[in-house]
Amino acid sequence: MRFAKKALLALSGAVLVAAGLSGAEIATAAPPQSAGCGDLYVLTDGRGRGLTGRTWDDAGTTVPAGARMEKFLYDDGIVPGVHPHSLDNTRRVAAPALERKVVDFHRACPGSRITLVGYSFGALISGDAAELLAARNEVPDQLISAVLIADPRRHVTNTTAQGPSGGIMSVAPDGPGMHTPGPREFGDIEVASICREDDVVCHAANPVSNAVAFNGQLQRLPTAHGAYGAPGQNFWARPADFAGVGDLLLPPSAPIAWGPPAFPAPMPREVLNDNPTYQRVMDGLTESGDALAWAEVLNSFGLPGDEIVHGFWKALQEAGAGY
């Protein structure tokens, strides 16, 4: 469809030229850019650091000369009651806000490239924003790229070591307030997806057919999920160096101590997300969980819940106590 639209626009332009409309000129120059425009890298951090972006600070992240970088800060949460709100709410608010930031930047700097860089939960938000941008086509795909480090929605691939594996949101079924839509469609946007083979967040084994591998990955979560800053290959520090790597599956953080699946089986997401009974149960639990969102509880007492929760959550993360 996009190709047909572009072809139609090109054909229309050719017809106008061939018609020789007197005094008509077709502008070919790009719109003028605002002062200070250059390529932009937008950095989005993981859960517990969404409002500080401390991973980038700790890594000393740099971008190429002439480009600039900005953090995208967002209220991160997964489990309402434990966190300020649900994962669904985080995605529903943060991804469109990041998409709008890119669109606004493009309008001010129409010739500049934008690279969305995300780690962990930040990769989820960055990838979701890239998918929105690809679908709406307000910014040309060739001006957008994404570097997704440990993306929870990474596509499923079949590996020799542990069989079919993918992002946890491409493997696990929906949970209360945690819908798992699976892999994305990025159109013509260039996306680098970087993941360690034993990182359960972005390369989870099938928990049904290879429970040994899945449990082993869960035990390695703190180590494997934090192994993206090795000297000489620091994905946090120099994300621009890896923008063109495509689908990059890194060696495990330690030798894998498990084997392939015991039997072939579909991913749980494929089975349960299409089950009406399961979906009704999850929808009911989601509705109950939303009532536990901190802001909703405070609002019920006539207090400004959103402002209070945002301030508290930010202060907690700034103190290094985000979770």
pLDDT digits 0-9 by tens, 230-288: 988 999 999 999 999 999 999 999 999 999 999 999 999 999 999 999 999 999 999 99
The pLDDT of residue 80:
86
Quote the CA–CA distance of 42 and 99 in Å, as a whole number: 11
Structural domains in the chain (count): 1
Q: Is 260 domain-assigned? A: no
Residues 109-133 have a mean pLDDT of 98
pLDDT beyond 80 at 21: no
The pLDDT of residue 232:
85
Residues 203-223 have a mean pLDDT of 97
The pLDDT of residue 34:
56
Q: Is 180 domain-assigned? A: yes
Closest CA to 170 of 135, 145, 195: 195
Q: Is 86 domain-assigned? A: yes
Q: Which of 157-161, 218-222, 269-273 has the lowest mean pLDDT?
A: 157-161
One-letter amino acid at 177 equals: G
- Give the model confidence (pLDDT) of 292-310 as tens digits: 888 889 898 999 999 999 9
Sequence-separated (6 or more) residues with CB below 8 Å from residue 229: 59, 235, 236, 237
**Between these two residues, 15 and 197, which has the higher pLDDT value?**
197
Q: Is 5 domain-assigned? A: no
Helix pair angle (87-108, 121-136), 10° resolution: 50
Sequence-separated (6 or more) residues with CB below 8 Å from residue 189: 130, 133, 134, 141, 144, 145, 146
The pLDDT of residue 29:
39
The pLDDT of residue 291:
85
Task: Map residue 80 onto helix, strand or coil.
Answer: strand
The helices-and-strands tally (H runs, E runs) of the chain is 10, 11
The pLDDT of residue 290:
87
The per-residue DSSP string of 188-244 comes to T-EEEEEEETT-TTTSEE-TTT-HHHHHHHHHHHHHHTT--EETTEETTT-GGGGTT
Cα 92 to its chain centre, rounded Å, is 12
Residues 3-20 have a mean pLDDT of 30
pLDDT beyond 70 at 176: yes
Please give the model's pTM, rounded to 2 decimal places.
0.87
- Quickly state the pLDDT bin for 178 (edges 50, 70, 90): very high
In percent, the amount of the chain with pLDDT more than 90 equals 80
Tell me which DSSP letter residue 166 carries.
E
Q: Is 263 domain-assigned? A: no
The pLDDT of residue 3:
35
pLDDT beyond 70 at 191: yes
The pLDDT of residue 170:
98
Which residue in this structure is represented by tokens 């190709």?
Answer: 3
Which residue in this structure is represented by tokens 């084994």?
Answer: 205
In percent, the amount of the chain with pLDDT more than 70 equals 89
The pLDDT of residue 11:
28
Residues 205-217 have a mean pLDDT of 97
Q: Is 2 domain-assigned? A: no
Closest CA to 293 of 52, 74, 78, 45: 78
pLDDT beyond 70 at 7: no
CB 76 within 8 A of CB 149: no
Q: Is 104 domain-assigned? A: yes
**Between these two residues, 296 and 131, which has the higher pLDDT value?**
131
Closest CA to 260 of 212, 322, 305: 212
Range of the domain at 306: 37-254+269-318
pLDDT beyond 60 at 223: yes
The pLDDT of residue 14:
29
Provide the CATH number for the domain around residue 44: 3.40.50.1820
Q: Is 293 domain-assigned? A: yes
